[in-house]
Amino acid sequence: QSVLTQPPSVSGAPGQRVTISCTGSSSNIGAGYDVHWYQQLPGAAPKLLIYGNTNRPSGVPDRFSASKSGTSASLAITGLQAEDEADYYCQSYDSSLSGSVFGGGTKLTVL
């Protein structure tokens, strides 16, 4: 059972918009700690997609965006492409556990 809760799977057709939620609690996201997002392609290491709630590292397309509100955060992908098919993870800090915590991951399928 992950500290941060994500839907196990989401899907969308090419060109569509999908969102992935990440729900935490008052000891992590709700406490104001930053949320980060990673993309993990099949057989590869995770890659930083969004940091500090809304910031994209250099090279990440602006089709990827994220937001945070209260005890939750959300990743949005617009103009869905076949290459976006991957697992997506959120991450934050939990003050009760005094450490980094990850969501359980969401598998994105491009139909």
Partner 1 sequence: QLQLQESGPGLVKPSETLSLTCTVSGGSISRSNYYWGWIRQPPGKGLEWIGSIYYGGSTYYNPSLKSRVAVSVDTSKNQFSLKLSSVTAADTAVYYCGTHFWSGYPNHFDYWGQGTLVTVSS
With respect to partner 1, which residue has the nearer C-beta, 80 or 89?
A: 89
CA separation for the pair 61, 46 (Å, rounded): 16
18: left (phi over 0), alpha (psi -120 to 50) or beta: beta
Task: Using CB under 8 A, pick the residue from 36, 75, 86, 110 that binds partner 1.
Answer: 36
CA separation for the pair 1, 5 (Å, rounded): 8
CA separation for the pair 89, 69 (Å, rounded): 17
With respect to partner 1, which residue has the nearer C-beta, 93 or 110?
A: 93
For residue 98, state whether it binds partner 1 (rule: CB under 8 A): yes
Name the one range near partner 1 by CB under 8 A: 16-24, 60-68, 69-77, 93-101: 93-101
Helix (H) or strand (E) holding 89: strand 86-94
Task: Using CB under 8 A, pick the residue from 22, 89, 108, 110 that binds partner 1.
Answer: 89
- Summarize as ranges the residues that interact with partner 1 (CB under 8 A): 2, 33-34, 36, 38, 44-48, 51-52, 57, 89, 91, 93, 95, 97-105
